[in-house]
Amino acid sequence: MKMWKRVFGVALAMALSFVGTAFAVEVVPEEARVFDMADLFDDREEMELASTIAMLQEKMDMGVAIVTTEDNSGSAMDFADDFYEEYEIGFGSDHDGALFLIDMENGELWISTEGKMIRYLTDDRIEAILDDVIEDAYDGYFYDCAAGFLEDLEICYDNGIASDQYHYDVETGAVSRYKSIQWYEFLIALVISGVVAGGAVFAVVREYNMKDNASRISANFKLSYRKDSGFMLHDVLTDVLLGSYVTRTVIRSQNNNRPSGGSGRSSRSFSSGGRSSTHRSSSGRTHGGGGRKFR
């Protein structure tokens, strides 16, 4: 009897495990977006991409999408930008996010960005990502290509916005620079504030340090004949700050060598910043991005 109970228990556990696994496979977060219109991925691959996208969207608070098509009579850039807007890929009022397009009609990969993501994915970083995934597209491994994009996108986000990042509108030539406080600027400000505060305290202590009763009596006697015995803190601060100044030095990255494709994603570097080229879509919204032919 006990043996039958054990067998039944094991069978029940296996059945529940199977049901739970099947349910997990079928349920995909609504925000996860994989639009495989060219049918390049099997069901398992699409689920894995969707799961990664859901994780990235939660982490970055920006929209992410993978799109494939084999029916595009226009340019890959226009298709990606229009699809991005039509399906509302971006998050928030600035439509923050990125879309990765595999265009089988034109044999081209294209990355479309908008909002805050434009600052993360500069021209150099986009080129580095394309270097990393283009071989997979050449060889027809499109799942690896899409998965590689998502992996590199997370690396770029983790590296943050480069201090020298700026937008460059290719149509008007307008430049919009990214403003950020660097660690050395914060440290300089902290040291100066410490010196100022310490100087003020030291001046007060030195001025009112009474070592014995006679000095206190003498000081009180002198104070009684002063026309203005009020202590003005701003006078002390002025004395301390007089002649002080702050200098700023721009420290640029020394790593100007863009990594080549096929070297393995684990050793990739996406720290370079600089320019993010932008353009207007057909609706007039500003997009960044870049692409490359794979055939």
Say how far apart CA 178 and CA 170 lie, in whole Å.
17
Say how far apart CA 288 and CA 246 lie, in whole Å.
36
Say whether pLDDT at 250 is over 50: no
Q: Is residue 18 part of a domain?
A: no
Same domain, 85 and 213: no
Q: Is residue 130 part of a domain?
A: yes
Same domain, 113 and 141: yes
Which residues span the domain enclosing 205?
183-223+230-241
Other CB atoms within 10 A of residue 261 CB: 14
**What value does the mean pLDDT take over residues 179-189?**
52
Q: Is residue 9 part of a domain?
A: no
Same domain, 189 and 168: no
Summarize pLDDT for 101-151 with one digit per residue, the tens.
999 999 999 999 999 999 999 999 999 999 999 999 999 999 999 999 999
Q: Is residue 82 part of a domain?
A: yes
Same domain, 169 and 200: no
Same domain, 61 and 125: yes
Q: Is residue 138 part of a domain?
A: yes
Same domain, 83 and 110: yes
pLDDT at 201: 56
Q: Is residue 172 part of a domain?
A: yes
Same domain, 110 and 213: no
Same domain, 105 and 66: yes
Q: Is residue 250 part of a domain?
A: no
Average pLDDT, the chain: 76
Burial letters 137-157, b for 16+ CB under 10 A, else e: beeeebbebbbbbbbbbbbbb
Question: pTM of this prediction?
Answer: 0.63
**What value does the mean pLDDT take over residues 226-235?**
50
Q: Is residue 4 part of a domain?
A: no
**Number of structural domains in the chain:** 2
**What value does the mean pLDDT take over residues 221-235?**
52
Say how far apart CA 193 and CA 203 lie, in whole Å.
15
